[in-house]
C-alpha cells in the first residue's frame, strides 16, 4: 500500500498564528490527496480534497480561507491553518488513495494541533 | 439514520479471546469495505479491504461482508494486548477516493 509521511506529528501554537502541516506520498505520485479532521472519539471527517496543480475541493462547512491547501507537486500537499483559534485544536490526518481505481485510502500518522 | 453505524464500545476482552466488531450501513451503493486499526495519536492503518460478500482472511483477522443485510464484521482470533486500539470500518462507492464514509470506531482493549 501507499506510504504517507506527515509532519509535524504534534504542534502547539498561540491563538492568531498560522500552522503548516505537510503530507508526502513517498512511494507513488499522488495527483489527489485528502485531508481529514478527527475529534476525540469521533469519526474521520473529510475536510478537503487536494488536487495537484489545481484548487482544492472543500467539503461543505469547511472554510477555504482558513484551511489553505497547496498541492504543488505529485508528492506533497500542505494544509495551513490560518489565524488559528482554540476551536481549531484537533487531529488532522492526510491520506492518499492508491494509483488504481477503487484503491483504499492510506493515511499519514496525523498531526495533533493544540491552539492556546 | 447515519450512513454507517458502529458501536463505539469500549470493548474489553481477555487475551486470547475472539473479538467480533461490526458495522451496519444504509447506502446500498457502497461496494468496497475496509477495516482500519488506529492506535492512540496515530493515523489509521489499513487492515482489510474487501469487495464481495463473504469472508476474507488474513492471519488472525477475518473480514466478513453481507451486502444483502448491509452488515460487515471483523473477527480477531487469539487477540493480543497489542490489538488494543480503535477499529474503524469504512466503505466507499466506486471512485478514486472521494467517496469514503467512516464509522466512529470501536475502542478495543485486550487485557493480559
Note the pLDDT of residue B97.
Answer: 66
* β-bridge mates for residue B48, sequence order: B35
Q: What is the mean pLDDT of chain A?
A: 92
Note the pLDDT of residue A1.
Answer: 66
B85–A contact, CB cutoff 8 A: no
When pLDDT is averaged across residues B83-106 and rounded to a whole number, the result is: 89
pLDDT of A98 > 80? The answer is: no
Note the pLDDT of residue B99.
Answer: 80
Cell numbers standing for residue B40:
492512540
Q: What is the pLDDT of residues A14-65, one digit of tens each?
A: 999 999 999 999 987 888 899 999 988 788 999 999 988 889 999 999 999 9
CA distance A14 to A3: 31
Mutate to test the interface with B, among A30, A105, A110 (most CBs of B within 10 A): A105
B30–A contact, CB cutoff 8 A: no
- To the nearest whole Å, the CA of A85 is away from the closest chain B CA by 21
CA A96, A48, A11: angle at the middle one, nearest 5? 80
Please give the full DSSP string across B13-46, using - where no structure is assigned. Answer: EETT--EEEEEEE--TT--EEEEEEE-TTS--EE
- To the nearest whole Å, the CA of A51 is away from the closest chain B CA by 11
Provide the residue count of chain A. Answer: 116
Residue B59 contacts by C-beta under 8 Å, 6 or more apart in sequence? none
CA distance B1 to A63: 27
Q: Is the peptide bond before A8 cis (omega within 30 degrees of 0)?
A: yes
pLDDT of A70 > 70? The answer is: yes
Confidence of residue B75 (pLDDT cuts 50, 70, 90): very high
Q: How far is CA B67 from CA A6, A74, B52, B72, B87, in A?
A: 35, 36, 8, 8, 20
B38 alpha-carbon distance from chain centroid: 11
Q: What is the pLDDT of residues B19-66, one digit of tens each?
A: 999 999 999 999 999 999 999 989 999 999 998 888 999 999 999 999
CA distance A46 to A34: 7
The strand pair at B4-6 and B45-50 is best described as unpaired
SS3 A86: helix
Amino acid at each position: 500500500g501507499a506510504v504517507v509521511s506527515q509532519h509535524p506529528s504534534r504542534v502547539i501554537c498561540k491563538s492568531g498564528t498560522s500552522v503548516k502541516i505537510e503530507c508526502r506520498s513517498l512511494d507513488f505520485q499522488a495527483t489527489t490527496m485528502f485531508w481529514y479532521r478527527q475529534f476525540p472519539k469521533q469519526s474521520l471527517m473529510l475536510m478537503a480534497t487536494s488536487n495537484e496543480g489545481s484548487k482544492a475541493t472543500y467539503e461543505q462547512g469547511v472554510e477555504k480561507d482558513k484551511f489553505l491547501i497547496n498541492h504543488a507537486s505529485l508528492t506533497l500537499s500542505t494544509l495551513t491553518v490560518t489565524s488559528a483559534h482554540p476551536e481549531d485544536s484537533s487531529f488532522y490526518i492526510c491520506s492518499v488513495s492508491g494509483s488504481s481505481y477503487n484503491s483504499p485510502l492510506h493515511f499519514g500518522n496525523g498531526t495533533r494541533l493544540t491552539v492556546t | 439514520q447515519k450512513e454507517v453505524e458502529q458501536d463505539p464500545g469500549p470493548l474489553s476482552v481477555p487475551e486470547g479471546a475472539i473479538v467480533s466488531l461490526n458495522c451496519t450501513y444504509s447506502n446500498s451503493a457502497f461496494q468496497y469495505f475496509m477495516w482500519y486499526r488506529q492506535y492512540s495519536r496515530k493515523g489509521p492503518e489499513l487492515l482489510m479491504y474487501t469487495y464481495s460478500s463473504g469472508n476474507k482472511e488474513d492471519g488472525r483477522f477475518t473480514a466478513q461482508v453481507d451486502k444483502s443485510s448491509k452488515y460487515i464484521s471483523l473477527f480477531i482470533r487469539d487477540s493480543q494486548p497489542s490489538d488494543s486500539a480503535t477499529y474503524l470500518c469504512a466503505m466507499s462507492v466506486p471512485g478514486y477516493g472521494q467517496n469514503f464514509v467512516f464509522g466512529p470506531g470501536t475502542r478495543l482493549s485486550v487485557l493480559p
